Structure 1
Amino acid sequence: MVASLLALWSAWSGSVWAAVCSQPVYLTFDTGHMGVAPLIAEVLQRQQVRVTFFAAQEKTREGDGTLGQHWSTWWREQARHGHEFASHTYDHAYWRADLPEQRFRIRPSSGSQAGQDLNWSAQDYCDNLRQAAARLQTLTGQAPLSLFRAPGGKTSPALLRAAKACGFEHVGWAEAGFLGDELSSDKFPNDRLLQKALKTIRSGDILMAHLGIWSRQDPWAPAVLEPLIVGLKAKGLCFATLREHPHYQRWITQHPLKLSGLPASPQ
């Protein structure tokens, strides 16, 4: 009952928001070490910005992984604030190459087989997408979007066809929407990333950042996040989730995820 009410509220608020948000950008976050996740959530709430989170079960600075029990309250709070959620593969599984007979070379960066090159069928990949989605549904109490983002954005036409066949549409990001939080803070300091984003981002762009990057010494968030949001608003832009994105709206409506019978808790 609660999940149904949340879904109805999300759809209603999304349609209302779309009516007033005439020059939207779509801010998205992939999971990371989660060290900055509470600060990001505070900024989003203070600025009244709704985003889309793509989640995998990744290693974190504290707790039992991004989709572990330690972070369950945080995920539930993000759902309460109107954010949307989608799969990033459960094992943060990188596509490496296509193989014969509709199989793929996959290298997870999380889970028991992290760092190994694996030979996955299309079904294996779909199961990993669905496992992340099922866990998100358990954590947030709402159905995730029927979208996914491949780790690193690495895909092939064959992989995209396989994912579509099991109900998932892929989401990348705009060139200007690569916000640079993965880059070296020595070569790409925060003020430089901020100025570039404010100069190049346009209405309709999908933006991408992370809930913490292990390798960046000077964290991008929240240092860049709030001035970026304020600056884009000053340019007349507004923020919406991917549920309102014109390219994905029909897909989401026509392909609701069916997640019954799938594992919904960390392995």
Structure 2
Amino acid sequence: MALMLAAAANVSAAGSCKGTIFLTFDTGSQSQADFIAATLKRHHAKATFFLANEKTVNGDFSLDPAWAPYWKARVAEGHAFGTHTFDHVYVQRDLPDGRIEMKPQFGASAGKKVSWTSRQYCDELNRVASRFHELTGSKLDTLWRAPGGKLTPNLRAAGAACGYAHVGWAPAGFSGDELPSQTWPNAKLLQQALTGLKDGDILMAHLGIWSRQDPWAPAVLEPLLSGLEQKGFCFATLRDHPLYRQHLRTPESAS
């Protein structure tokens, strides 16, 4: 059944869509942050950003005060925002005692395996919400994406217990911006996305990837959005996604 989200249409002059694509961006090196923001604005396209406090090409971190103007501007433009864990924490495995083995990429325990209770993981998700409010004065949406999209039963339960809905992405929505550009050139990734994305799909990309030699966004994002528009697609935040809109409209707070 087509997701005819006419109210969320951002790119169709006629005010109607043949389908909707949900653009999402995770923080990263932030090397493409300004370009992505400008491209979205030019296309009147709304997206959902998943935030972690990651090291940037500026030598700071993506949730440092220096990034407040960037995030405030995105709030003013009507984008949505979720938590990607503060220290970009990867799950390793569920432990027999009910705890969860984690490995933060940043922060005091960077590179080390730590054992957390569900409460500790919830606190990690909420660190992003607190910092986001400090930087922007706005409330984070109760959406969550685990780094790498990897979940375990205990991790999924921990996020749900503190009010967050986990967001993955469609198979065709994997942008490939983390893959080596030598074997996955941008032209191939663009063609794959244009032919594979369908109504209701969630696309996932980053605001910059350290390891990719030929950055994804400058070569792919503009022609991707234009190509999808030509096919009659519109773009919306996850606030309008059928799997998440009711969750986000239900009065609740992550705790």
Q: TM-score range by the shorter chain?
A: over 0.9
| Deviation (angstroms), 1:138 | 2.3
Once the two structures are superposed, what CA deviation does each residue of 1:171-210 show, in whole Å capped at 9, x if it has no partner? Answer: 0000000010000000001111000100100010000000
Alpha-carbon distance between aligned partners in 2 of 1:46 and 1:59, rounded to the nearest angstrom: 27
TM-score between both structures, scaled by the size of structure 1: 0.88
Alpha-carbon distance between aligned partners in 2 of 1:210 and 1:255, rounded to the nearest angstrom: 30
What is the root-mean-square deviation in Å for CA atoms of aligned residues? 1.6
Once the two structures are superposed, what CA deviation does each residue of 1:62-107 show, in whole Å capped at 9, x if it has no partner? Answer: 1420111121111111111111100000010001000123210000
Which residue number in structure 2 is paired with residue 198 of structure 1? Answer: 194
Contact 2:33 2:207 (8 Å CA) reproduced: yes
| Deviation (angstroms), 1:22 | 5.3
Once the two structures are superposed, what CA deviation does each residue of 1:192-240 show, in whole Å capped at 9, x if it has no partner? Answer: 1000100100010000000000000000012200100000111111100
Percent identity of equivalent pairs = 50
Structure 1 position 54 matched with structure 2 position 81: no
| Deviation (angstroms), 1:21 | 4.7
| Residue 220 (structure 1) aligned to one of 216, 226, 231 | 216
Alpha-carbon distance between aligned partners in 1 of 2:126 and 2:234, rounded to the nearest angstrom: 31
2:243 alignment partner AA: H
2:176 alignment partner AA: G
Alpha-carbon distance between aligned partners in 2 of 1:201 and 1:140, rounded to the nearest angstrom: 33
Structure 1 position 104 matched with structure 2 position 104: no
2:7 alignment partner AA: V
Alpha-carbon distance between aligned partners in 1 of 2:96 and 2:166, rounded to the nearest angstrom: 22
TM-score between both structures, scaled by the size of structure 2: 0.92
2:213 alignment partner AA: Q
Change (3 A) 1:219 1:46: same
- Structure 2: give runs of 5+ residues left out of the alignment: 10-14
Contact 2:142 2:163 (8 Å CA) reproduced: yes
| Deviation (angstroms), 1:135 | 1.2
Which residue number in structure 1 is paired with residue 62 of structure 2? Answer: 66
1:234 alignment partner AA: Q
Alpha-carbon distance between aligned partners in 2 of 1:186 and 1:255, rounded to the nearest angstrom: 47
| Deviation (angstroms), 1:37 | 0.4
Alpha-carbon distance between aligned partners in 2 of 1:171 and 1:119, rounded to the nearest angstrom: 24
1:104 alignment partner AA: I
Which residue number in structure 1 is paired with residue 12 of structure 2? Answer: none
Change (3 A) 1:102 1:255: farther
- Structure 1: give runs of 5+ residues left out of the alignment: 1-13, 260-267
Contact 2:17 2:232 (8 Å CA) reproduced: no
Contact 2:162 2:254 (8 Å CA) reproduced: no
Contact 1:31 1:55 (8 Å CA) reproduced: yes
Structure 1 position 134 matched with structure 2 position 125: no
Structure 1 position 42 matched with structure 2 position 38: yes
